[in-house]
Chains A and B, each alone.
Chain A
Amino acid sequence: MKEKPVKGERRVFMTGNEVCAWAALAADADIMFGYPITPQTDIMQYWTRLAPKYGKKFLQTEDEISAGFTTLGAVIAGKRAFSATTGPGNVLFQEPMSMAEMMRIPVVLIIPMRGGPSTATVIYSQQEVTMTAFGGNGEGFRVVYSTAGHQDLYDYTIKAFNTAWKYRFPTFVLSDGYQGKMRESLTIYDPAERGIEMVKAEPMLGLPGIPGVDRPTRHLRNTYNTEEELYEVVMQIARDFEKAAPEIVEWQDFDTDSEMDVLILAHGVVSRAAQGALPLLKNEGIKAGHFRPITLRPMPEEQMRAAAARANRVVVVESAYGQFLKLVKETLYGMDKPIDAILRPGVGITAEEIVAEIKERR
């Protein structure tokens, strides 16, 4: 038996991208395909340094389209395969992710978001929310985790593999350029020792025996050309997604149990600024709470609405020009609740800035 990359538990200090590579190893991923793009590249770099030692594989492809489709090929063949990308690379990834949605091919994609539109910055943003949750030609039958720190990156990268393989939806781990490069401490662990059992990666093709003789032949397709046939297929996926959603949704809330003047809604690393803002606002005499959806798709709707119901108003804070805001509006639809927003596309947000904005708009 191969040596386990992570044994027991240990406290470590790493960059966020390094964490992703370690988490994929701990989750017993078999192979990574990828194409270099900042700020994702060091996930690949760490993987290529670590992988051979544990019998893992890697292929640098000609572009992200190929990275996506080779990943799907490996999954179809029965391996726990994954990739990572960002920005314009995420755009190219939408084609293979759309095929994964239709054919129920489990796949994990890690996305340390960079600035956009276009090439923009390689630094930081939260501008890939809409594309990651709803990109491609389709209905957004995907799972999107938004992480807020290195422990999250480790925990949810491991969890993403199990979500993907259990429910068979493409699963994304959103990070961002800051998290990818910043260093902080976290606990890495062997999932098995925490009672986390990795869902087995079964081959969809290449099963034992002669097809059509010993067993039925597997013929996979994504082409349908009658409306009725497609409708059946899509509605089945929709029903499966709706059924899985309550089991998949995750969230965190802070000081939301009692009545609030203001509820701050933020996801990902911005949630940390929101958390930091709470004691500062308290000092100013403002009763504030914070709700953070960890899954942006599916959204923890009930929970967000319950928190919002206890606040006089809601403030959405994000490093994008309203992508998360749209999801919030959809979630809170029908509630008589003022929604304000602090939108900083491609720019970081501090706790002090949130406090200042909330005071000003009071």
Chain B
Amino acid sequence: MAKETIALTPAMPKCWNPDSKPHKFCPGCGHGLTLKMLGQAIDELGIQDKVIFGCDIGCSLLSWDFFNVDSVQTHHGRTTPVITGIKRARPELIGIAYMGDGGGYAIGAQHLVNAATRNEKITAILINNTNYGMTGGQMAPTTLPGQITETTPFGRDPEDSGYPTMGPEMVAAIAREGAYVARGSMANLRQLKRFLKKALENQMEGNGFSFVEVLSSCPTNWRTNAEATWRFVEKDMAEHFPVGEFKVPGKKEEK
């Protein structure tokens, strides 16, 4: 009987805050899965007492009490500088800046760019779900050409509103040796966890800036059922946003 109970309980990462579960992301949202992988990575690295988790405005803010790690919810786009300040003040801490595509690529783009060029020793994780979820599905920097959103009601016309931001490609181009840059997807959770773990290890080793973009779903604002949601993440998004590692620091021990 006891065994059966265990089998039925979904495994919750040790560093999750049980008081805030079940979490409040919409069913089918990619945030929950990403944060589960992040939680497992924190557990496996044994850094629950060292992590400072910062979250942005937008749906990412729903994670403000998600973990049993010390956390701060900031302003829209400003999580990168807050975590930078914390890390500069206390280098022994492990700073995670968790944000959406609006926070990282639009209103806080200057912070992402400059943190990357300065090689700030923090880990930034950015959820790309091709729209602004919390405000009700407006165009994001990552909205795909032709995609309908509340501010592109006739589909995004790149002539008019530009092409989707290629975040990891940009960060990889401006970051120097020591940076870790990758794009993962909720469609491949094992790989995503590997990327997140490497992004944390890179900070722990003091190498430099670590950045992981995550292809993620927003069925609520996409108005998609499970099948269409999955197709959009796996096919449409992956076609525009290649998944993989863009910059990996050379192994130190090999020197």
A201: min CB distance to chain B, Å:
10
Is the CB of A323 closer than 8 A to any CB of chain B?
no
Distance in angstroms between the alpha carbons of A208 and B92 in the assembled complex: 12
Please, which residues of chain B bring their CB within 8 A of the CB of A73? 81-89
Is the CB of B61 closer than 8 A to any CB of chain A?
yes
- Which of A115-123, A213-221, A310-318 interfaces with chain B? A213-221
Please, which residues of chain A bring their CB within 8 A of the CB of B176? none
Interchain CB contact (< 8 A) of A219 among B50, B57, B65, B83: B65
Distance in angstroms between the alpha carbons of A218 and B72 in the assembled complex: 8
Please, which residues of chain A bring their CB within 8 A of the CB of B86? 73-74, 76-77, 205-206
Distance in angstroms between the alpha carbons of A125 and B64 in the assembled complex: 42
A166: min CB distance to chain B, Å:
20
Q: Are A69 and B81 in contact (CB under 8 A)?
A: yes
Please, which residues of chain B bring their CB within 8 A of the CB of A192? none
- Which of A14-22, A54-62, A270-278 interfaces with chain B? A54-62
Is the CB of A78 closer than 8 A to any CB of chain B?
yes
A81: min CB distance to chain B, Å:
7
Range for the number of chain B residues in contact with chain A: 35 or more
Count of A-B contacts with CB under 8 A? Answer: 135
B190: min CB distance to chain A, Å:
26
Distance in angstroms between the alpha carbons of A212 and B84 in the assembled complex: 24
Distance in angstroms between the alpha carbons of A332 and B113 in the assembled complex: 50
Distance in angstroms between the alpha carbons of A353 and B220 in the assembled complex: 67
Q: Are A77 and B74 in contact (CB under 8 A)?
A: no
Residue-wise, chain B 65-103 has the 8 Å CB interface mask toward A (1 for contact) of 101111111110010011111111110010000000000
Known contacts A63-B110, A77-B90, A205-B52, A223 near B61 by CB under 8 Å: yes
Known contacts A62-B114, A69-B81, A70-B88, A211 near B68 by CB under 8 Å: yes
* Closest B residue, CB atoms, query A33: B85
B50: min CB distance to chain A, Å:
8
Known contacts A33-B85, A74-B88, A77-B86, A69 near B74 by CB under 8 Å: yes
* Closest A residue, CB atoms, query B67: A217
Distance in angstroms between the alpha carbons of A218 and B17 in the assembled complex: 11
- B149-166, CB < 8 A from A: none
* Closest B residue, CB atoms, query A70: B85
Is the CB of A71 closer than 8 A to any CB of chain B?
yes
- A183-230, CB < 8 A from B: 203-214, 217-223
A31: min CB distance to chain B, Å:
6
Distance in angstroms between the alpha carbons of A324 and B97 in the assembled complex: 41
Please, which residues of chain B bring their CB within 8 A of the CB of A214? 49
Distance in angstroms between the alpha carbons of A221 and B49 in the assembled complex: 20
Is the CB of B23 closer than 8 A to any CB of chain A?
no
Q: Are A62 and B111 in contact (CB under 8 A)?
A: yes
Please, which residues of chain A bring their CB within 8 A of the CB of B113? 62
Distance in angstroms between the alpha carbons of A95 and B52 in the assembled complex: 22
Q: Are B90 and A223 in contact (CB under 8 A)?
A: no
Q: Are A65 and B68 in contact (CB under 8 A)?
A: no
Known contacts A76-B72, A220-B71, A223-B73, A59 near B88 by CB under 8 Å: yes
Distance in angstroms between the alpha carbons of A318 and B57 in the assembled complex: 40
* Closest B residue, CB atoms, query A216: B68
Distance in angstroms between the alpha carbons of A348 and B73 in the assembled complex: 43
- A86-123, CB < 8 A from B: 95-96, 99
Q: Are A95 and B69 in contact (CB under 8 A)?
A: no
Is the CB of B131 closer than 8 A to any CB of chain A?
no
Is the CB of B221 closer than 8 A to any CB of chain A?
no
- A43-57, CB < 8 A from B: 57
Q: Are B48 and A211 in contact (CB under 8 A)?
A: yes
Please, which residues of chain A bring their CB within 8 A of the CB of B57? 223
Please, which residues of chain A bring their CB within 8 A of the CB of B111? 62, 65-66
**What are the 10 tightest A-B residue pairs by CB atom distance, in nearest-first order?**
A73-B85, A212-B68, A70-B85, A69-B81, A74-B89, A62-B114, A205-B70, A77-B89, A221-B73, A73-B86
A-B contact pairs, 8 of them (CB 8 A): A31-B88, A66-B111, A69-B74, A70-B85, A206-B52, A212-B68, A217-B71, A220-B71
Q: Which residues of B approach A to under 8 Å, CB–CB?
A: 15, 17, 48-50, 52, 57, 61, 64-65, 67-75, 78, 81-90, 93, 110-111, 113-114
Q: Which residues of A approach B to under 8 Å, CB–CB?
A: 30-31, 33, 57, 59, 61-63, 65-66, 68-79, 81, 95-96, 99, 203-214, 217-223
